[in-house]
Structure 1
Amino acid sequence: MSLTIDDTTTTGAPRSPWHGNADAQELNHWRHVARQAADELATDALERDRANQDPFQEVELLRRHNLINLLVPKEAGGAGAHWETAFHVIRILATTDGSIAQLVAYHYINQGSIVFYGEPAAQADWLRRSADGQWVWGDSVNPVDPTLELTPDGDGYRLNGFKRFSTGSSVGDVIIINALVRGGTNDGKILAFVLERGRAGLELQGDWDFLGQRLSASGSVRYNDVAVRPEDILGEVGDEPFSTLVTPGIQLAFGNFYLGVAQGALAKGRDILRGRTNSWFLSSAETYAQDPIFQRTVGELLARTAAVEALAGVLNRTFDDALAKGAAITAEERAELAILIAQLKVVSTEVGLDVAHRIFEVTGSSSTSNTVGLDLFWRNIRTHSLHDPVDYKKIEVGANYLLGEVQPISLYT
């Protein structure tokens, strides 16, 4: 990949630093790296989940495996990989630790906001500084909790307000924030800007204590008269098609995340089932794994998961194709991609939840023991799949198919 941020296409539109597609060598290499990281996370996933501590050690594990700068172009000091590769990494990590898969997914999107929102002339410098520092990017952008305001203060601003569900904020080196400007020449605009975690007046609440995704560092943040300097600002959050690819991007990350949870639940369920040396007393089979009843259930869940994987595989590559167009991508092309990804969101949510729930039907009552940890898969996907109502994704898909309607641009659609 080449760092071509300041170049322009033949239409005069700024070019994306991401172009082309991942080859087999790239995909195989990073899948292997992600598998190694996932295997390390698997050794104490249940214990870490119960401890419910901020995942600083897990972040260091990601750094050690060189996953933090995966999407940063080589010319800026990164690995120069593609988004298709990143989605594979997210999926593989989710097979053993959904919390860290979420943390990585949001990091990639938040770091990518340098390109989605940043002024072209400044993007290369942001990318290089992020790569040099191996910055982990958290966020504070929850759009249904719009209480952050910027008020002009000299050549900068003061930030005040409260924001829930700020994923990665308690362990991120930096936090990307969206806030509404009140007053001055930018009155009414929403600006995206970046603050270090220790900025004066930025208070981490440490209140993330939920059913699942317990190590996603998604607590609330309060901002008390925080200074925001001109150099902290990436740019305006608007409705230009390329910049709004941030939403299909995170939704596609969710689809891969849910798929990984389903695959992880199936793998753990298979190990449990094959480890049972007896069978149900009414069965003619010698073991549970040889019983057609349990084979049928596993076969159904596996087939449905494979279908989700096939759809995700197509869309992961399609997303790279869309990014390569840069600002030349049209609103119609962006909308078509968003609808396809919404379809994945629907099926990955429902299949993931079903697999994580029904795997208990084949593993038996002993698998509900707190020492087994099979419930971790269900708790994680049940918690995160409530991020935005999947029924509205179904409506989004159906309304488009029937009437050609497109939902208004937001951080959810």
Structure 2
Amino acid sequence: MNEPRHAATHSVRDVSSAADVSAAFAASSTSGVTDLSSLLDALRASAPQRDRDGGHAGQEKQWIADAGLLTLAVPREFGGPGARWPDIYDTIRRIARVDSALAHLLGFTCLQIVSVDVWGNPEQRARYLSGTVEGRWWWGNAVNPLDTRLVASATSDGGYVLDGQKGFCSGTRGSHMMTISAHDPAAGKPVFAVVPTAREGIVVRDDWDPIGQRQTDSGSVSFTRVRVEPHEVLQRADTPYASLRTLISQQVLTNLFVGIAQGALEEARAYATQHGRPWVNSGVDRATDDPYLIQRFGEMRVQTVSAEALATRAAYALEDAWRQGPSLAAEARAHVALATSEAKIVAHRAALDVSEKLFDACGARATHAPLALDRFWRNARVHTLHDPLDYRIRDVGRYALSGTLPDVSLYT
């Protein structure tokens, strides 16, 4: 790994415009994938086959790194573009249109960078954020807070030894660094840290085989006498600003849903215009003149643009809160949580509905397996099970009825 360079700490995130996101793309790549447009074309071309194969998308992850996207969430003072959250989520959404699994990996790399940004001390932030830029690190995680099987035993020098395992460790396979959470039974509290994925005693298991999101590298990780050095231990802050990390995670998922709906609609349109046949009783010569098909596409578009609008609204609310830094008030943070839940509810429904209506719009021939058009629904179905929709609707309903804002939790 490259030696990190050090920089002064900051309390409020540097921000930039969409132009700075474009400027983040690497111009020195020899892979031919040097900008977002060519990256999307390359991912879309291989997405159906990779969906069938599953496994690890090493080449495609390299293309994402070559396009300069791994550093989007790194502040400028550490060498990153300091991109705004609306622009980061727009990038994630655009990738999700063609490959929601790899969009998930990029989103979760951004999330781990944020974890260091809000939980790390000045030295840790300088080391790991600058290191991400210099080393083009992919980040994985073993931070599933509901999985308490990983035990941390304190050492006399302030470090820990880890034993146990974690499940649903998105992005860890093929990563350079990882964030971890473990339970310290002696202190009765959680421990958070950053460790290199290749550290002795860490085994990343290839045991993720779901019906969708098949290339998110979300297998389990086992730890056997894994040493955590004192300088690798993060101190999770219990402040409204630090707790924005949860909402950043939830908006990653929200924008994956939006991208899935957009991608399903795009594929449906392409198939219907190129291969659609009018129904025998329609009285029209072209499928695209069928009034029922037109209505169906109208309904799908309304759902998709509604989801995008609310996701963008939530991203701007997050950006406004993020700019406030440690001075962010609890009530302001709660309004971001409400906007996030509102967006996620609509995006959740849009992803499932549009990816299913795709087949109503395209007909029986669209189920031809090599087309893999069912991947949109399968990807949506897997990710929409992340947390129950009912509890988000409950939170929104409470606010609509009594003005009660959501409490901070693992998901809000």
TM superposition score normalised by structure 2: 0.92
- CA distance in structure 2 between the aligned counterparts of 1:276 and 1:135, rounded to whole angstroms: 43
- CA distance in structure 1 between the aligned counterparts of 2:39 and 2:243, rounded to whole angstroms: 31
Q: Which residue of structure 1 lines up, in the alignment, with residue 352 of structure 2?
A: 353
Q: Which residue of structure 2 lines up, in the alignment, with residue 164 of structure 1?
A: 167
- CA distance in structure 1 between the aligned counterparts of 2:21 and 2:171, rounded to whole angstroms: 26
Q: Which residue of structure 1 lines up, in the alignment, with residue 36 of structure 2?
A: 34
Between the two proteins, the alignment pairs up a number of residues equal to 398
% identity of equivalent residues: 33
Residues 124 and 232, structure 2, Cα contact 8 Å, conserved in 1: no
Shift of the 333–160 alpha-carbon distance from structure 1 to 2, 3 Å rule, reads same
Residues 264 and 358, structure 2, Cα contact 8 Å, conserved in 1: yes
Gaps in structure 1 of 5+ consecutive residues: 8-14
Which of these residues, 17, 20, 32, is aligned with residue 23 of structure 1?
17
Q: Which residue of structure 1 lines up, in the alignment, with residue 48 of structure 2?
A: 46
Once the two structures are TM-superposed, the CA of residue 193 in structure 1 deviates from its matched residue by: 0.8
Residues 4 and 17, structure 1, Cα contact 8 Å, conserved in 2: no
- CA distance in structure 2 between the aligned counterparts of 1:330 and 1:312, rounded to whole angstroms: 22
Secondary structure of 2:243's partner? Answer: helix
Shift of the 27–351 alpha-carbon distance from structure 1 to 2, 3 Å rule, reads same
- CA distance in structure 2 between the aligned counterparts of 1:17 and 1:4, rounded to whole angstroms: 14
Gaps in structure 2 of 5+ consecutive residues: 1-5, 26-33
Residue by residue over 1:363-385, the C-alpha shift from the partner in whole angstroms, topping out at 9 and shown as x without a partner, is 00000110111101111011111
- CA distance in structure 1 between the aligned counterparts of 2:376 and 2:98, rounded to whole angstroms: 8
Confirm whether residue 240 of structure 1 aligns to residue 236 of structure 2: no
Once the two structures are TM-superposed, the CA of residue 28 in structure 1 deviates from its matched residue by: 6.6
Matches for 1:48-67 after TM superposition, within 5 Å: 48-67=50-69
Once the two structures are TM-superposed, the CA of residue 408 in structure 1 deviates from its matched residue by: 4.4
Residues 178 and 193, structure 1, Cα contact 8 Å, conserved in 2: yes
| Letter aligned with residue 17 of structure 1 | R
After superposing the two structures, state which structure 1 stretch, 203-212 or 125-134, moved more. 125-134
Confirm whether residue 196 of structure 1 aligns to residue 190 of structure 2: no
- CA distance in structure 2 between the aligned counterparts of 1:88 and 1:34, rounded to whole angstroms: 11
Secondary structure of 1:168's partner? Answer: coil
Q: Which residue of structure 1 lines up, in the alignment, with residue 368 of structure 2?
A: 369
| Letter aligned with residue 372 of structure 1 | L
- CA distance in structure 2 between the aligned counterparts of 1:143 and 1:298, rounded to whole angstroms: 41
| Letter aligned with residue 168 of structure 1 | G
RMSD over aligned CA atoms reads: 2.0
| Letter aligned with residue 193 of structure 2 | F
Matches for 1:168-317 after TM superposition, within 5 Å: 168-183=171-186, 187-236=187-236, 238-276=237-275, 278-317=277-316
Once the two structures are TM-superposed, the CA of residue 17 in structure 1 deviates from its matched residue by: 2.8
- CA distance in structure 2 between the aligned counterparts of 1:407 and 1:143, rounded to whole angstroms: 20
Residues 35 and 92, structure 1, Cα contact 8 Å, conserved in 2: no
Once the two structures are TM-superposed, the CA of residue 332 in structure 1 deviates from its matched residue by: 1.0
Residues 14 and 76, structure 2, Cα contact 8 Å, conserved in 1: no
Shift of the 373–166 alpha-carbon distance from structure 1 to 2, 3 Å rule, reads same
- CA distance in structure 2 between the aligned counterparts of 1:403 and 1:225, rounded to whole angstroms: 51
Secondary structure of 2:12's partner? Answer: coil
Secondary structure of 1:68's partner? Answer: helix
| Letter aligned with residue 260 of structure 2 | V
Shift of the 216–193 alpha-carbon distance from structure 1 to 2, 3 Å rule, reads same
Matches for 1:34-183 after TM superposition, within 5 Å: 34-155=36-157, 156-183=159-186
Shift of the 30–263 alpha-carbon distance from structure 1 to 2, 3 Å rule, reads farther
